[in-house]
Amino acid sequence: MFTSFIHRFSAPKSFVEVTAIFFPYVMTIGFLVLSVGWIWGLAFAPEDAIQGNSYRIIFLHVPASIYAQLIYFFMSICALMHLVWRVKLAAYLIKAAAPVGVIITFIALFSGSIWGIPTWGTWWQWDARITSTLILFIMYLGIITLHSSFSNAEKADRLMSILVVVGVVNIPIIKKSVDWWSTLHQPASITVSEGASIDPSMLYPLAISALGMGLTLIALGIMTSRLYILTREKNKKWVQSYV
């Protein structure tokens, strides 16, 4: 019964129809919230006592890094759904989310890299946090390449899902890298157990930027998903009547 419930609500057709309604709102609210967060962070948040103004990159770097990992986590849940319940939509969403993962992981890496120049005196260091994030970036590219290297799409979906599930081991490594190894990258300033160790005047714009970035990426993900689903199912009857 549970399986039939999942399958009914995960029909690619329902996804395309429902997201068409939400998309404009998610995108508009996402852009607005992100703008508020960034303007607040860039112009109104106080200067950092140690890092000066270079710390303002945080309002881009931290949200980007969070979503670089969250998107992979989302993909691994989809991969499990695809492998266990054979949910087609789950595989489509992995394929559509991977390019968004590539983009945001790249932004996380390069923003950190530029931030490193004034703060650490170097733009790159083979430090645990940075290296594991680079591996995440390569994983995203690998997932896309693996899927496109098969002519049989169903087989590609399954193998891609297996690769995503295996690669999820990297996520706790990224998260814990700053605690397990002595790294140049600073440990987390906001933790569940101890709360936030940064001042509200910096924390609020950071939280708003993160929310805005999340909505913006969901909007982009909706677009890439719709594009992929329509491409993949273009010969199905529902697509012909939908367009």
Determine, following the binding rule CB under 8 A, whether residue 187 of this chain makes contact with another protein.
no
| Residue 104 CB coordination number (10 Å) | 25
Q: How far is the CB of 198 from another protein (least distance, A)?
A: 13
Determine, following the binding rule CB under 8 A, whether residue 103 of this chain makes contact with another protein.
yes
Of 215, 211, 222, 219, nearest to 63 (Cα)? 211
Determine, following the binding rule CB under 8 A, whether residue 220 of this chain makes contact with another protein.
yes
Q: How far is the CB of 135 from another protein (least distance, A)?
A: 21
Which member of 118, 122, 153, 172 binds another protein (CB under 8 A)? 118
Beta pairing partners, 48: 52
Which member of 15, 38, 72, 140 binds another protein (CB under 8 A)? 38
- By beta-carbon proximity to another protein, the closer residue of 118 and 172 is 118
Determine, following the binding rule CB under 8 A, whether residue 14 of this chain makes contact with another protein.
no
User: In the window 123-162, what residues touch another protein (CB under 8 A)?
Assistant: none
In the chain, the N- to C-terminal Cα span, in Å, equals 32
Which member of 65, 76, 111, 133 binds another protein (CB under 8 A)? 111
Q: How far is the CB of 162 from another protein (least distance, A)?
A: 27
User: In the window 49-88, what residues touch another protein (CB under 8 A)?
Assistant: 52-54, 56-57, 60-61, 64
Give 131-134 contacts, CB < 8 A, sequence gap 24+.
Answer: 132/170, 132/173, 132/174, 132/177, 133/65, 133/68, 133/105, 133/108, 133/109, 133/174, 134/109
Residues near another protein (CB under 8 A) are 38, 42-47, 52-54, 56-57, 60-61, 64, 99-100, 103, 106-107, 110-111, 114-115, 117-118, 200-201, 204, 216, 219-220, 223-224, 226-227, 230-231, 234, 239-241, 243
